[in-house]
Amino acid sequence: MREDLKCEIIFRREIAPNQIELILKNRRLAQEARPGQFVHIAIENGVNILRRPISICDSFMENTRIIFEIKGEGTRWLAERREGDVLTLMGPLGNGFSIEPGKRAFVIGGGIGTFPLYKLCKTLNKPEIFLGFRNKDMVVMENEFSMTGNLHIATDDGSYGYYGFAITLAEEKIDGCDIIYACGPRPMLKAVKALAEKYGKKAQLSMEERMGCGIGACLVCVCKTTTGNRQVCLQGPVFDADEVIFD
């Protein structure tokens, strides 16, 4: 049986402006988590009735790491938790990335969409990693990502790394790529799909939608695909790029 897990916060810090990192202690969660999956966290402030889906950044032993951006009341409450506080959450949920061994992997991420790619990069064999951020202050986990593969950083304003989009960098090196894994803002994912099509590469995209139940019951968070509207929380969040329809 699945459970609503109790997870103690054992570490908390603001990793970048408005972005909070928490390390949660729960053996079952850490052991079951796969790259690209998420947790559905109860906001126990007596006001917010919906949980917040947050992607898993990493997990090891009995610890799971999540990083999220403060966007509204719910994530603000979550950001105000302290070490020693206990969160209630469902997870790990969803279908994450499927690793294809032996393939030369490109990993493309943008903004807060870079976090769910970390555990993936650790699992892959020396991927080429292309991460895009707004500016120098928002560049996070640079050292950690660079230990897992060949890291290329781009910023929108040129204040750090390449001046432009991460995907432009990826296109320059596309000959060395068999498969692309991506997570980030919707326009970026749409561009990744186009890039994959242009060069005949396979790609997996982690899609984001506003969610309800988190387990496939309410049909709120659907992604338009070639086989109809599919549940992001259950059948996703990762879909093959050739299935996803961007309007």
Partner 1 sequence: MNTKVNFCGIEFDNPVLTASGTYGFGLEYDQYYNISQLGGISVKGLTLKEREGNPTPRIAETYGGMLNSVGLQNPGVETFKSFYLPKLKAEKTCKVIANIAGSTVEDYAEMARSLRDTAVDMLEVNISCPNVKNGGMAFGTDPKMVETITRAVKSQAAQPVVMKLSPNVTDITEMARAAESAGADGLSLINTLLGMKIDVRTRRPILANNMGGYSGPGVKPVAVRMVYQVARAVKIPIIGMGGIMNGEDAVEFMLAGASLVMVGTANFTDPFAALKVKNGIIDYMRRCGVEDVNELIGAVKPN
Site for partner 1, rule CB under 8 A:
1-4, 42, 47-51, 74, 90, 209-224, 228-229, 234, 247
- Minimum gap (Å) between residue 90 Cβ and partner 1: 6
- Vertex 30, ends 29 and 33: CA angle to 5°? 75
Cβ distance to partner 1 smaller for residue 175 or 247: 247
- Going through 94-241 in order, the beta strands assigned E by DSSP cover 105-110, 128-133, 150-155, 162-163, 179-183, 202-206, 222-225, 228-231, 238-240
Cβ distance to partner 1 smaller for residue 50 or 99: 50
- Minimum gap (Å) between residue 40 Cβ and partner 1: 9
Cβ distance to partner 1 smaller for residue 88 or 159: 88
- Minimum gap (Å) between residue 152 Cβ and partner 1: 32
- Terminal CA-to-CA distance of the chain, rounded, Å? 38
Q: Which helix (H) or strand (E) holds 66?
A: strand 63-69
- Minimum gap (Å) between residue 103 Cβ and partner 1: 31
Cβ distance to partner 1 smaller for residue 98 or 229: 229
| Alpha-carbon span 84 to 138, nearest angstrom | 27
Asked if 30 contacts 106 with a C-beta cutoff of 8 angstroms, the reply is: no
- Minimum gap (Å) between residue 157 Cβ and partner 1: 22
| Alpha-carbon span 102 to 195, nearest angstrom | 21
Cβ distance to partner 1 smaller for residue 48 or 159: 48
